[in-house]
Structure 1
Amino acid sequence: MTGNTPVTVLGIGSMGRAVAAAFLAAGHPTTVWNRSPERAAALVEHGAAQALTIEDAVRASPVLIAVLTGFDATLDSLAPAAGALAGRTVVTLNSGSPAGARAAAAWITARGARFLGGAIKNVPAAVGDSDTLLYFGGARAVFDEQAGLLRALGGDLAYLGPEPDLAALYESAVGATLLPALLGFLEGAAVLATRGIPAATMVPYSRNWLRMIESLLPILAEEIDTGDYTKLGSSVDLFDAAVADDRALAAESGVDLSWHEPMHELVRRGVAEGLGAQSISSLFEVMKQPAGWAGPARRAPGFMVASPLRNPES
């Protein structure tokens, strides 16, 4: 499609505002809609058109970008304009479950529109940057047709595959590290605070620690994909032994470390199932079959799970 494709952005919270601003900056005629219309004022000042009804918003553009709270909110918002969806493309950039994405795709396509499920893997301030990653699941033809438009939101586009729920699936999988990492930093800050030490002093060391963890990810993935849990060197037994240190720290500092207990339970289960000498990545076997698990899955030598993540040029 041409570089000046008209686009409608549905939902102008912090991410929606950033998305609409990026389209405006790239020269796309941009219509915005939100349940609270006053939120559009700043975007209108910068050249956006404001639709006061959802039907007007849908009819304004051939491409609709939904940046609402979730898939239910997206469908609830679109329902009054269902008759105007035929022939248009709906791209979702909201959060939600894979099941929610599949339901949204089915509802939207049943009304004659095309669906592309996506996710922005960065903060609103980075929307439009050359290194901001967006990934998408849905029909390849739809992705290819809209790639030029979507590149206004970030220079790193990835096509995951034809299933409409893949972006939501990867959001769940990749996003699983976010809350534990943030809670870990907050915990560290709380421990330091008991000694009157500012959290800022921890930042350089936390950065180095996160880079070290990043360097281990390929090894973890290889162990999981091959079923050979001998390469990493950090065993389940090692983490089990550290449980006592966690409890000692909680007692000394008075900091609430109770959020560790589910992790400790996973480690205990791993030891009980005979995984103590294996790499910590062997807990994958515990986590994937939490009920009635009867030991590590037997896999053929050289078994690998191929990633569907593909560069859009592939």
Structure 2
Amino acid sequence: MTSILPPGQNRIVRSLIRSYYERAELYLPFDMELREFAFQPLSGGSYVRHLSFQTAQELREVLLREVPGHVFYSSAKYQRPSARDMEEKGWMGSDLQFDLDADHLCEPRKITFCPVCGKEVMGERCPDHDVEAREYVEIPLDCLRKTWDQAVLLSRILKEDFDLSPRIFFSGNRGFHVLVECSGDCALMDSDDRKEIVRYVMRDQVPFRGVEGDPGWAGRQEGGVSVDEQVTVDVHRLVRIPGSIHGKSSLLVKEMNDFLYDISLSPFSGKAVLLPFITGDFLLVDRQFHLNKGEPVSMEAGYAVFAYLKGLGEVTYYVR
């Protein structure tokens, strides 16, 4: 019988992630001593927040001890970043962050199934085996590319209309982040100021400052950019650390100048064996795989860990 471990409890996967963080090049803000750090365990659950580090090595030691699924620093700079009360932290300003998710632009494929019998189910539990159902979400590649195009358009608006210097990052899962490292007046914008920028880039009854007829105007007029408003207006928002692993995919958070979505985003090499929980055809990163429930399949480790974190099966063997 297949062993159904709680998500995040696979020893092989934890070992691979830990090994990655032993050598990982994490891209941290130059003023990291002013930032709050946080992580979420690989198994999910509550965030561990209000952490403060003086050096990258201090952070690495925590990553090797905890092996988290998600790692963040605050967009805000604080006088006392480890204070547990937001008022006591002493806010000094925040970077400007935008979140663009592919599932806000397109309809993803969703399957809710029982990891024991592999049958699709309605609701949160399998009625036959009384175990928690798993939801698999698959984003088409063309949808990710559309999201990238939106990120590029947003970046251009911020550059040309606001004279800012945005950077685009793959989120590690199903979207992109556009980040502006702020100082001066930019950093001191409050939530209302940031909301005005959101309204502007989303074309929410705010006229563009650009000149009609210039390249890109048609795309702007078509409806602006779809962003998650709550991410941008929240001056205490967390930012995924570039170079870290996204715990729902195993792919890296990575700065991008051109669209990229393939297995090179996985930090794992070698081969692994996946024991599927379900039968069907699935897009694992950039390749289609046919899986048969209970039939072990050998594949590149990057695909196997991706499938595991998507809930499709268990990683049972790994060879470097």
Decide which structure has greater strand share: 2
Structure with max Cα Rg: 1
More helix by share: 1
TM-score range, shorter chain: under 0.3
